[in-house]
Structure formats: C-alpha cells, structure tokens
Amino acid sequence: MIRPGMLLQGRYRIICQIGGGGFGKVFEVDDGGTPKVLKVLSLERFYNPTIKQKAIALFQREAELLGRFKHPGIPRVELNGYFTWSDGNGEPLHCLVMEKIPGSNLQQWLQDRGNQPLTTEQAHAWLIQLIEILNELHQHQYLHRDIKLSNIMLKPDGQLVLIDFGAVREITNSYLEKQQGKHTGTVLVSPGFTPPEQAEGHAVPQSDFFALGRTFVSLLTGKSPLDFPRSSETGELIWRDQATHVSLELANLIDRLIAPFSGQRPQNCQEILNYLKGNQQIEPLSQGGADTLPPGTDFGVNTLGLNSFLKNTVSLVFKSDKKNVDRQKKTQDKLSKKRRFQFWMAGLLLFG
C-alpha cells in the first residue's frame, strides 16, 4: 500500500492522496522539488481476469498516448513515467507519473461560483481552446471519449487542459468495428455527456463534439444536461430558454454539436474553428435537415438503463428527471441485469 512519505523509483516522494475511486488512487508527489501527480491502478478489486487485463490495457494506453503529445492543453507524462511497484504483498501496482495541473476542474469551478452561467464571450474563447486540443487528438487519429466538466482543468493563467485519457481510442479501430457491425472495445458512459452512438460502442470523431457541446450546455446554464427535456419530434435538447444571454450564433453551434445524429454534427474540428473565427456560417439545426422521429418514439431513458429508440439508427439518451421515474419504470424492467452490470463495470474501469 502506498502511503505519504514513501519514496518510489528512488525519486518520487509521496506527499498526499488527492483523489481516486474504488479502482485507483491519485497522489501528489515531489520529484526533486517539483510537484507532480501519480496515478495508481489497484487490481485487488478486479475479480474477473478479463476485466482486470482490460483495465491494465486502458491504463497503459493512457501512458503511451500522453507520452506522444507536446501540447499545452494535454498533460505531459514523464519519460519512463509508467512503471509497476510492489511492496511484496499482493499484485504489483501500475503507476503513472505526469505533470501536476494547477487550478481546478470545470465542475468544481462552476460550483465555486454558485453555478453562475458562463458569458457568451468566455464560452467562445474556451470553445476555441478545447477544439484546438481536440484537433490535436483527432489529427493523430485518437478519440477522447470522455469529455465532461470534471475532465477539463482551468489553470490560473486561463489555459484549459483536457485530462483523463484512459478512455482514448484509435479512430481506425472504432470505424472498422462500426463497419463490421461488431463491438469489442470498452463502452464508457457518462450520463448526460455520452452520445448515442458511443453508448452502443461505435464512437466517431463527432462523438467528442457531442460531449463537448453538452459540457457547454452546463457551463452556459449552470445546470446538468440531464435537467433538460428533449423534443419528442427531433430528440433535440431544449435548453435555450435557460440561457437567454447566449448569442444566437453560439446557441446554433451548440445545438449542432449536440445533435442526436452524428451526421448532423460538424464533420471535423477545422469546420468548427472556421465558424468560431468567423470564416464560415452554420445553419440552425432546425433548418439543417434534422430527422423527425417516428410517432410514439420514446426518448425517455434514465441513468439506470439504455434503450434503443430508432430502427437502424444508434440513438441513446439519458434522463434523470425524477418526475419521469414512474413513466420510465417499465423500460428499466426490460433491461437485463447482465447488461446493466456491463455498463456499470465499464464506467468504473476509469477513475479519473
């Protein structure tokens, strides 16, 4: 067990634990006077060998990926920052040392300001920062797959940093699995932020746009995306009436990013940047060919379950509004315990 005061690899002095969950912990460490972060994957609670190996693979992939990038919006990993450590009792611990990002994540930042909504001007500037970070990822053929408030850090100098890359997946693998109609990767679900196609295992670049758009719905309203209803005809999130201060142009872009169908969203990061920098126009979603749902389609799915609602189209939506619990109970009961467990375990594979 790692404890404050311990020295790992002859250089990393454990200062204190600063985060973590059931399957891992995060520590602040001192490396010759420089504060850094140590992520530790604990394996003793993984009883299924297959899931255990998957967790290790995800952790190693995060280490390998972060070692490739030199971008101010992506955490830097130490050379040889990935290692295993054992005190002689139990399985070795998998460790990853990376730079310590000063500041707070946007979830904490929003709470600290009493959930006061972001201004249009600040949202515009932050969107440019985050799309440029995503562009770096996507150009290297990677998807983040877990963008949300708690996975974005705000540094004192105003720089945003995208964190928690354990969910990253190569675009090529996701595309090939989608074309072959199969899924062998890990399904990662963050209710309110995960797009429909990703929840069924077929993430695409536009999946990151959806999660980013939902993140800005929270920032611009001070509320969770789960607090808003959806159109029964198009499936679009109805949020604008809670953000009347937002410019029409920005609201149109957000609606494009969070469109129910991935094909309705921008095709790439450059398209979004062109719009944000005034070099390209974007049509409102309601005028851009949004599909209409078949009569009787029910969008209501709460966070306990997932429900396909369109034939031949991936479309999952989450809902946590307590007023809808009774109406959704029948849908929940149809979901097998096995499937619920699979989604639950998948969500716990990462501890960021």
Same domain, 95 and 139: no
Same domain, 143 and 287: yes
Domain-located, residue 288: yes
Same domain, 112 and 95: no
Q: Where do we find the tokens 């562009």?
A: 135
Total domain count, the chain: 2
- For 352, residues 6+ apart whose C-beta sits below 8 A from its C-beta are 146, 150, 151, 163, 164, 166
Position 209 scores a pLDDT of 97
Position 21 scores a pLDDT of 61
Instruction: Please confirm, yes or no, whether 146 is among the known catalytic residues.
Output: yes
Tens digit of pLDDT at every position of the chain (352 positions): 889 999 999 999 999 998 876 567 889 999 999 999 999 987 777 778 888 888 888 888 888 888 888 899 999 887 788 999 987 777 788 999 999 999 999 999 999 999 999 999 999 999 999 999 999 999 988 888 899 999 999 999 999 999 887 665 554 343 334 443 444 445 567 889 988 888 888 889 999 999 999 999 999 999 999 999 999 888 899 999 999 999 999 999 999 999 999 999 999 999 999 999 886 777 777 644 444 443 333 333 332 233 333 233 333 333 333 334 344 444 444 444 444 444 444 444 444 4
Residue ranges in the chain assigned as alpha helix (H): 49-66, 106-112, 120-139, 171-179, 196-199, 205-221, 248-257, 269-276, 325-334, 337-348
- The one catalytic residue among 146, 164, 208, 255: 146
* 280-289: long-range pairs with CB below 8 Å, 24+: 282/249, 282/252, 282/253, 282/256, 283/252, 284/252, 284/255, 285/234, 285/236, 285/252, 285/255, 285/256, 285/259, 286/234, 286/236, 288/256, 288/264, 289/264
Give the domain extent around 78: 7-99
Position 198 scores a pLDDT of 87
Position 316 scores a pLDDT of 32
CATH code for position 17:
3.30.200.20
- 126 C-beta neighbours (distance < 10 Å), count: 19
Same domain, 27 and 109: no
What digits encode the pLDDT tens for the residues 319-340? 333 334 344 444 444 444 444 4
Same domain, 178 and 262: yes
Q: How far, in Å, are 40, 139, 200, 337 from residue 78 at the CA level?
A: 15, 23, 34, 42
Same domain, 148 and 72: no
Same domain, 146 and 71: no
Same domain, 24 and 57: yes
Same domain, 157 and 232: yes
Provide the 3-class DSSP secondary structure of residue 157: coil
CATH code for position 281:
1.10.510.10
Domain-located, residue 322: no
Position 66 scores a pLDDT of 82
The share of the chain scoring above pLDDT 90, in percent, equals 47
Position 115 scores a pLDDT of 97
